[in-house]
Each structure stands twice: as structure tokens, then as C-alpha cells.
Amino acid sequence: MVIAAITGLGSALPAGFDQRALWEGYFRRHFTDNRFAERIFASAGVRRRHSVLDPLREDVSGWSTEARMRRYRREAPPLGHRAATAALADAGVPAEDVGLLAVASCTGYGTPGLDIQLASSLRLAPETQRLFVGHMGCFAALPALGSVADFVVARHRPAVLLCLELTTLHLQPPTAETQQVVSHALFGDAAVALVLQPVADRRAGSGSRPDTHRPVHPAPRLDLVDLAALTDITTRDHMTWDVTDLGFRMGLSPRVPDVLARHVGPVVKNLVARNGLDLPDVRAWAVHPGGPRILDTVQQRLGLPASALTASRSVLAERGNCSSATVLLVLDELIRDGTLDRGGPVVAMAFGPGLTLYAALLHGSARPPAQPS
């Protein structure tokens, strides 16, 4: 059963930096020319990342949390505005028609928050509802997507979901701790927004119908069909995101891929099976690239060909891990590279603290054939 339709997508990125240049220009000194740290940077699968900060000119590793939050409040609104505006334009939805604005972020806070600042800059209607999803980490996009879809179905109104993360604001003081080296080798900044709209109930003989005062998108790019979640609370100490006096500090156990290996197969197989599908029926995969080992684990446990995760590896290489925004960047990559032109089932997956695994089943609409000129 179709829940709602993703009809628009927009992204915004700050300035880009070459991974090798970051190492040579800043992190080599930050990690005191540690050869082990250099190998981690070289093997992270990242060639380029984006950041609201230029670490070659501005060292924030000693900044207080207050100073980092001030910078978040300065950098986040224009980046989020760009992404949301692009998504609304892509969907052809006027800002005044939006019934809900949901913002997911775990890298910055303040009140009035980013949702209120965007309600002003986007010129949303005063009665537009707002939701902030905070501190869930890398998997936040998918539970937020589910909540926004529930609103769209219940209210028959378009909604916007924005995932915005400025991870580079949380650069930690120099350390030889492996977890910190890994996180600083992987993470980047990004904002991605989706527009969701109601879809007519297509079941024969159904008496339900959408609100006739609100347009139903005739050819949704991606229908959201179903969601699945699993949290293994016995491993909740494997991934942490602690608020400290010097920003937010990540804890990342090397055992995370092993936990994911136990759960990813059963969760995904059950999700597709209860919707009358099998793994070979899935046309495209949008897997959160938490790192090379995460992608290798998913590929191996699901028996996927290497080509299935090309988009995820491309995002990791060119964007890094952007926390909650990353899985949406992978969906954007699948759209841009033409993978979704033929339509068909798509599985999106993201992982984070808990340890938590979320998966979404979507169905793409085939792009109409080009008309002869």
C-alpha cells in the first residue's frame, strides 16, 4: 500500500575540500604526524568532503559548545533554505501550500530553532505545523520520513522534510584515539530536503479520496510503501554522540559492522517479503554509507552485486558521511545517474545509535519516454 509520494528533492552543500589536502594542510599536524591516522584517512573511501568551515584557516577544535552553536545558527539557515527552496521548486509546490515543515538535525540547537527561521525565510503560512527531530544521528531521515508521511496521509497536505547536518563544527581536540580519527576522516556537511504529497488511494472500490482542495501529484517520483525498524539495545554503547564542553563527541565502536551483519538480512528480507517481493526484485539500493566496512557488510549479507551500492560509494567518496542527510544524498544520486528512470522497487537503509537499523521500501515511477522533436 502506498503511504505518500516523494515528489521533490533538493540539496545544498557548502564549500568542498579535497581529502588529501585536508590531511596535509591540517590533520597531519592535528594528529601529530601519526602514520596510523594517515592510513585511516587514506582508507576511509572519501576523496572530497564539504564543510562550512575551512580548517586550513580556522581551527575550531578548542571552541566551546556555545561558540559552535552560534556558528550553527549562522550557517544552517541559508543552507537549509537553499535545499528546501530547491525541493519545493522540483515538486512544483508553493511554499504557502506546505502543511508541515520537519527538520532533522543532531549537530546544532537553539531556540528559536532552525524550523522557525526557515518558516520565516521560506514564507510559510502562519498555520504551518513544525516538527524538530533531534539527536537521533545518522538514521534520523527514515523515521522522520515516516512521521512526515503520516501527516501527509492524515491531513492531505504537502509537507517538507529537511535533514541538515554540520558535523564539522564538532572537530575535537588533538587525540590519538582511533574512534576520533575515524570520525574526523569520514564526516562532512550537507542539507537535503524532500517534498511529500498525498497520493490517491489506488485500490479498486475504495471509498476514500484525497482532499479535493489539494492537488494530488499525477506522477510521483518515489512512492513510500513501507518502513521497518530494529533497535538492538544490548549494543547501545557502540555508537554515542555526547554533548561536551568542547562540542559533540562521537563514540564509534569497531564492532558496529558486526552488529549490523546480524540484523540487516532479517530486517530487509522481512520488509520486502511482506510486500510480495524478494531481494532480486529490488531495482535500486540507497544504503547510508557509514564507512567502507558498513557498505561491505550490507553487500555481503544481502548477496548484492558490487554495482548495487555504486551510488552509496559515490556519495561516500564525494560527500563523506553527512549523518542524517546522507541516505537522502544517495537517493539524489540514484535520480541523477538515471538508475530510477525505469522505476521499480527501491530500498533505503540507514543506521545509527541504539544500535538502530531503519529501512524503507519505495517504488519509483518510470520516466516517460522522450518525445521526438
Cα separation, 47 vs 317, whole angstroms: 5
Name the CA radius of gyration of the chain, rounded.
20
- Whole-Å CA distances, 81 to 63, 94, 98: 26, 14, 14
Q: 163 catalytic, yes or no?
A: no
Catalytic residue among 106, 138, 163, 322: 138
Q: Which three cell numbers stand for residue 175?
A: 587525540
Cα separation, 366 vs 343, whole angstroms: 4
Catalytic residues: 138
